Structures are given as C-alpha cells and as structure tokens.
Chain A
C-alpha cells in the first residue's frame, strides 16, 4: 500500500487516489497545425521509464484535487509531491 501525502489533506492510503498517468504532457496549442505523428505522440506515446516518473494523481475519494508526484517505478517509492502547474522539481529550470 502506497502512503500518499495529498498536498491538501495530508497522508492517506493509496486506495483513496487514482493515478492519471504521465505528467507534463502539453497539448499542442494549435492542434490543427500539428501533423498526425505529433498528435499521436501527444495522445498515445509515453516515456514509460524504469526509474523516476513524473505523474498526475487525483485524490478521488478525498478533496478531489489533482497534484503531481515523482515516483520510482522500479521500487514504487514516492519521491516527492508538487502542485499542478509547477515544473518538475528534479529538472533544472530553464
């Protein structure tokens, strides 16, 4: 059981949450202007790393708010939690 610290409610069991998949996938601002390959990449292609993964979580059976999480997919260990809209904390800022 993962213990997940919702930034709004505190530490709660995994079963209250729902994972929303990889984070920071930006929708192309003008979908009409990208080709099919770029659109498919946005919709379907994923990084799927073994190691640190940035992903979105929803506190579905709690405050119902979304947040981001860094988790190691090899060990399932939660590394960090940060708000929606913030950039990935382990990436150098540009």
Chain B
C-alpha cells in the first residue's frame, strides 16, 4: 500500500481496519544472489539500494533477532555531516542529502527533523579547531556557522554560560543536522526493500560462513543452510564474531554505549547540543523526553547493558552544561554494542575472501551514516568495487597507514 493523504483519509473512514503489515515475514529460500547478514539500519538500507539502484532483488536480509533490536533502535537519533577529514566529509554529506530525500524515497514518515546540531566551544583553542572544521565543511559545500557567545545565548539561553571551569565561548552550528526517528528508519527501509522483492528473515542467526576454494558459497543459519552468490556483513557490534566465522580478524573492539531519556516535559530544547568540555550531548524527542548520552563504558563488552560509572559521568557532564536538568527524573537508560574501530572510522569494503563484503566499525556515529552506508555498500557489492565515496573506508588501511583518525586519538578504540 502506498501511503498518502488519500490512504489516511480512506482508512479513517473504514475505522482503520484495512492497514496491512508493513513487510512480509518471509520464509528463507534455499538460495539467493546476495545475502545481507544483519537487519539493522545498514543491512536494510543496503538491501533497499541493491534493489533500487542496481535492480538486484534476489536478495535476503538475515537478522538474528527482530528488526530494530540492534543499535538502529538504540541510538540517540542524531544526524550531522560536520566532519573534518577528506575521506569523511563527502561520505557524510551524501548521507545528509539522502536523509533530506529519504521520506519521499521510501514513502515512509521517518520524522527527519533538521533542527540543527550545535557543538559548543569553551576555549580559544577549541574555537580555532571548530573554525578549521567549519571551513573544511564549507569548502566541501556543507553548511556551517561559527557562533559567538551572544549568538549561542540567543538560541539556548538556559545553558551555564559562566561555568567556573568551562565557560561557553560559542559554538559551531550545522543547521541541516538534526534528529530522525530511528525505528522508522528500520521500518521504512524494510518496507521499501520488501516491496521491491527482498526477503527479510527475522530470528535467523547466521552461525557459519561456508567457503569453497577461497570464496563464499553460503551460510549456516538458525533456519538451515542457504546458498549465496555474495554475502555482505552488516552486523554492527558483532562484526568481529561474524567475520571470525570466515576466519577473518578485524581491527575492532566491541564496546557498550548507553543512552538516557528523562521524563517528558514541555518543549525546551529545539536543537541538538553537544558539550565541548566533556562527552555529553542532548536533544528533546517529540514525546518530550530529553534524550542524552556520553562516553562508552571503557572496556570490551557484549553485555548490551551499561554500568554505573558511565551513568554518573554522563549526568555530571549534563549538570555542568545545563544545571536545570538536575530537577528532572531519569525515565529509562539502555546500552547498545558498538564496533569501535581502531581509528574511529568505518570499513565498507571487499574482504580477502571472494564474494564476502564487510560493513563494520561504525563506532557510535553510524546512525547518521545509515543511508550512505547502505548506498555505498550496495554499490560495492553490486559492482565489486567501492564507490569513490567509500573508497577511503578500506580494510587494508591499517596496514598501509591510510588511517582516518578524525579525532586524532591514535590506536585507542576507547578514545574515539
């Protein structure tokens, strides 16, 4: 069914009895041209763009749980393209452009809201770094505005501007950044891929990757063996484990990142604000809850739930930025598993195994990348070579020295 004003009106008249499930619960067929492992945002987007851009529809997406059970349904929904390095800016800006057309493209309301992303600075040095970042963005045609203290004050007067340790001097604003309803991204891509013939198979964990003569021939799954011409891995958080099924080692550690939501309040924060003197970022959902987060827990974990020191740290940073949130109650918190890559940047590439492709290492910034990641991964799989947009996200860059260390933190996954 195509969603439109007419479909909404006619359903209203029929008492909303005619809505259909948004995608088929497909059975696993014995063979596919392409199988995508992982039904998160990136896997579903890949399947959609394989069908839409490359006409490849004999495709399955295998998801070990239910759609949206991974990070695509756990993140803090922020999208932005305020990157500095050449390998990153064009890729993330392409993602932003795809977000801007996404709802029309998918015929699905993903609540893309370009409410702006404001990165605060608290020192002269940080201002200079943001000026450099903003200039790099503008040179690539991305919007960026360097705001001074008064301009920031006019936008978000409730921050602690005169904090004794971290006074706010200004901020770098990307007005086209914002938030997107994350579940709707999974559902919208699933529906649009399904409509083009892609099979989405839930509760179907991949437990083995079968190779013959150095190439992939199929997968062992919870629902039996499936033959596959090509296999694309998009298993954020579990990439090391799934790649190990094919004997591959990755430059990745899995870490837990937590997110927090307060009780709902009236509209207060109409943008996304990031603290520059600690790791803390905050926005407000359309339901009214303040959505915020900060650092990863700091040690390898697959526990998918966080620990208390990180909770305390995030709340302290929040209090330093915006003391008024101390009056609010925390409603929920949860954790998700992330692939922390060793330079903080992702991998979208072929692997040394023929027919096996890898999409991994998204750290905590992979939600904003969802459209471009799927688009580039589909291209890489369909054409058997990376697109120029993802050409820098090579797996072998760790050996050749072409690291993309956006943060300049070195080989320390827990610092990115």
B399 touching A36, Cβ below 8 Å: yes
A39 touching B241, Cβ below 8 Å: no
**When each residue 35-48 of chain A gets 1 if its CB lies under 8 Å from chain B and 0 otherwise, what string results?**
01101110111111
B5 CB–A CB distance under 8 Å: no
B400 touching A36, Cβ below 8 Å: yes
Which residue of chain A has its CB nearest to the CB of B311? Answer: A1
Which single member of B303, B343, B412 contacts A74 (CB below 8 Å)? B303
Interface-located stretch among B13-21, B56-64, B202-210, B251-259: B251-259
B307 touching A14, Cβ below 8 Å: yes
- Interface residues on chain B, number (Cβ under 8 Å): 29
B251 touching A50, Cβ below 8 Å: no
List, in ascending order, chain A residues with CB within 8 A of B302's CB: 50, 73-74
A7 CB–B CB distance under 8 Å: no
Q: Give chain A nearest CB distance to B303 CB in angstroms.
A: 5
B309 CB–A CB distance under 8 Å: yes
Q: Give chain B nearest CB distance to A15 CB in angstroms.
A: 4
A75 CB–B CB distance under 8 Å: yes
A53 CB–B CB distance under 8 Å: yes
B400 touching A41, Cβ below 8 Å: no
List, in ascending order, chain B residues with CB within 8 A of A45's CB: 249-251, 398
List, in ascending order, chain A residues with CB within 8 A of B411's CB: 43-44
Interface residues on A, range: 20 to 34
Q: Which of A30-82 contact B (CB under 8 A)?
A: 36-37, 39-41, 43-50, 53, 55, 71, 73-76
A40 to B250, CA, bound (A): 11
B303 touching A1, Cβ below 8 Å: no
- Which one of B241, B399, B401, B411 has the highest number of Cβ atoms from chain A below 10 Å of its Cβ? B399
Which single member of A43, A48, A76 contacts B240 (CB below 8 Å)? A48
Q: Give chain A nearest CB distance to B343 CB in angstroms.
A: 8
**When each residue 8-30 of chain A gets 1 if its CB lies under 8 Å from chain B and 0 otherwise, what string results?**
00000111001101100000000
Of all A-B residue pairs in the complex, the 8 with the closest CB atoms, nearest first, are: A19-B299, A40-B399, A48-B240, A44-B251, A44-B342, A44-B398, A36-B399, A50-B302
Q: Which residues of B contact A (CB under 8 A)?
A: 238, 240-241, 249-254, 298-303, 307-309, 312, 342-343, 398-401, 411-414
